[in-house]
Amino acid sequence: MNTTRRMFRRILVANRGEIACRIIRTCRRLGIETVAVYSQADAAAQHARLADRALPIGGPRPQDSYLRQEAILAAAQASAAEAIHPGYGFLSENADFAEAVERAGLVFIGPRAASMRAMGSKAGAKDRMAAHGVPVVPGYTGEDQDPRHLAREAARIGFPLMIKAAHGGGGKGMRIVRDADAFAAALESCQRESKSAFGRDRVLLERYVETPRHIEFQIFGDAHGQVIHLGERECSAQRRYQKVLEETPSPFLTPELRARMGAAAVAAGHALDYVNAGTVEFIVGPQGDFHFMEINTRLQVEHPVTEMVTGLDLVEWQLRVAAGEPLPLAQEQVRSRGHAIELRLYAEDPAQGFLPGSGRLERLELPSPSPHVRIDAGVIAGDAVTIFYDPMIAKLIVHDDDRARALARMREALAACAIAGPKSNIAFLEALIRHPAVVEGRIDSSYLDRHLDEFLPADAAPDPRAHAAAALAVLLDDEARAARPAIAADPHSPWRAADAWRLDGQGERRVLLAHGGQRHLTSASGSSGRYLLRNAAGCVEVTDARLVEGWLSAALDGVMQRWRIHLHADRVEVHDGSRRHAFEHPSALATTSAATADSDRVLAPMPGRIVLVRARIGAVVAAGDELLVMEAMKMELALKAPRAGTIAAVGIDVGDFVEADAMLVRFADAS
């Protein structure tokens, strides 16, 4: 029977962020109109702007918008969409939603509801896979949940073993047990957590594989009975069961092991009569023994690495299969070239336990896309990372001829990234991509959790040359800005120079930078690329300094070096090719006074906390006398008298928190 239909004219994308944007771009290339949906928090989001049409579906919380099945179906029908693509997350693996879409006369772009339900129970999934010859981890999946029976099964399986919630996910309801004495307490704890998280306390037991690798295979099935795989992705770099780095091909697999695992993945697809995109995930032991773990019945976050090595568009395949077309290629026609790696750039603070961040992206710099570099992002500079959804900013994907070159590409891509606004995990990712366990391809799925401190950049003192580079970047940027006014149109104007020249000789400019709460003052004489820099570390002679399109090159004491520079309003980042050095450079802190010489008041230059007050009402002070000290941006800033005079009012006390421009001290009239 021929089930092929024409390609869709219009589809609704039931998702947000980078995956919604990614789906929309493929549809646009294929001439398919797209309808986006958005929550109140996403009214100005990129996916809503990119689609041909966008409809509101509710409040900012997922349960009030992106998880509201009836609202999404109503939007699809109101816009005359013919199909719904769920992306990943939200409703992508919800069998009830898939059936509701079909009942509404629309096409669900994903697997059948029956396949989702078959994978909904870990125990049932394992039994089904074992019946079709797919290797599974030795264990117990039975319905008898009596603790004494489970203890006997644990003894039969052997230790170490893992207790897992039969209906769980996301790392919840899992316990590793290393001996029989610890089994009863671990079982009780696991059941309690499973009941709380999933409403059911059934568990299964599995042999625990020490130092396992996590390797998954991308499969595709069509409505004509064909199932193939598109190669593997290794996702062993994980933190708390969350993937951090994905790559293909796996540096661990041999051609023979790859062939056996690929065949097992295809067998898993046939076991479910699988249609559309799916991912078969395996646990792989140190000796190459592999065991089925689960099937993700959707497109994966890391699908771009497969696309980079195969040259295929998996979203296009999803659309064609959903329209009833046969798979575009047979297994023997699938080709893979080179090596691809993906990292996820998040708004989070690794130093604070990877605490998710939020806020406006004041600045967002990402590498330029090229045949070697791909950016999948759902935000641009000026957008907000909200508290309601996953704080992913972008996915960085690189490709090159082999793994070593791909790693080098990723290092370059990360060096080109800079964010102002919420904190990010850029420095963590840079440490990750340079770590020997990653470079040598020997990381296992629990390595990060065991050795996390090795990946958290230490707050060490900055390299003196990096400090000099940061000061040079500020100097050159100041000179470039000074050359922009109208008077700069005359190249011979004496006012064009920004070299601190004065009548009684060459002056000095001062650059205040801070790192790790410590202030570093650099005095600079010279201009136009030639300087003498002096600070507490010594004196450096600089020649041939140039700052062009984010790259600084200069000879320091005769040695030429190159740095990537990211200049923000109050921050300078210097990348020397192996390490990122960040310096605070708030312009308000570059002066010792918060008021002009003829001002009658001292204002707070920025938000901060008052830590010392020397000013007293009625006191007579001289210009430059220290009036108070405030703490801002982890630094102490001394605010000094702008002129001589008598203090008439003091508006703060020690411990007060003040906003920018708050009046701190007022002088009596000069008269």
298 catalytic, yes or no?
A: yes
Using alpha carbons, list the distances in angstroms from residue 587 to 478, 513, 606: 11, 10, 10
Burial class, 279, CB count within 10 angstroms (exposed 0-12 / middle 13-18 / buried 19+): buried
List the Cα angle 422/428/434 in 5-degree steps: 150
Euclidean distance between the first and final Cα of the chain, in Å?
A: 100
Structure tokens at 584: 């605070």
Side-chain-side CA neighbours of 178 within 13 Å: the count stands at: 1
Beta-strand relationship, 551-556 and 174-177: unpaired
Q: What is the DSSP letter of 564?
A: E
Largest CA distance in the chain: 100
Beta-strand relationship, 276-284 and 213-221: antiparallel
Task: Scan for tokens 């493929």, then name that residue.
Answer: 26
Closest CA to 654 of 604, 614, 620, 624: 614
Residue 86, φ and ψ in degrees, nearest 5:
-90, -5
Closest CA to 563 of 535, 533, 583: 583
Using alpha carbons, list the distances in angstroms from residue 657 to 363, 604, 613, 615, 652: 27, 10, 13, 17, 9
Helices (H), 199-336: 255-271, 303-310, 314-322
Q: What is the DSSP letter of 326?
A: P
Q: Is the dihedral of CA 639, 644, 649, 653 positive or negative?
A: positive
DSSP collapsed to 3 states, 349-372: EHHHCCEECCEECCEEECCCCCCC
List the Cα angle 3/6/12 in 5-degree steps: 105
Closest CA to 288 of 265, 254, 248: 254
Q: Burial letters for 399-426: b for 16+ Cβ neighbours within 10 Å, e otherwise?
A: bbeebeebbebbbbbbbbbbbbbbbbbb
Distance from C-alpha of 496 to C-alpha of 516, rounded to nearest angstrom = 36
Distance from C-alpha of 56 to C-alpha of 72, rounded to nearest angstrom = 9
Task: Scan for tokens 């006369």, then name that residue.
Answer: 105
Structure tokens at 318: 């999803």
Order the strands of the 620-621 sheet from edge to edge. Answer: 601-603, 663-667, 645-650, 620-621
Q: Are 65 and 49 in contact (CB under 8 A)?
A: no
Reading phi first (left if > 0) and then psi (alpha if -120 to 50, else beta), residue 409 is in alpha
Using alpha carbons, list the distances in angstroms from residue 4 to 98, 224, 322: 20, 10, 9
Amino acid letter, 157: I
The active-site residue, picked from 298, 465, 509, 571, is 298
Q: Is the dihedral of CA 99, 105, 111, 115 positive or negative?
A: positive
Catalytic residues: 298
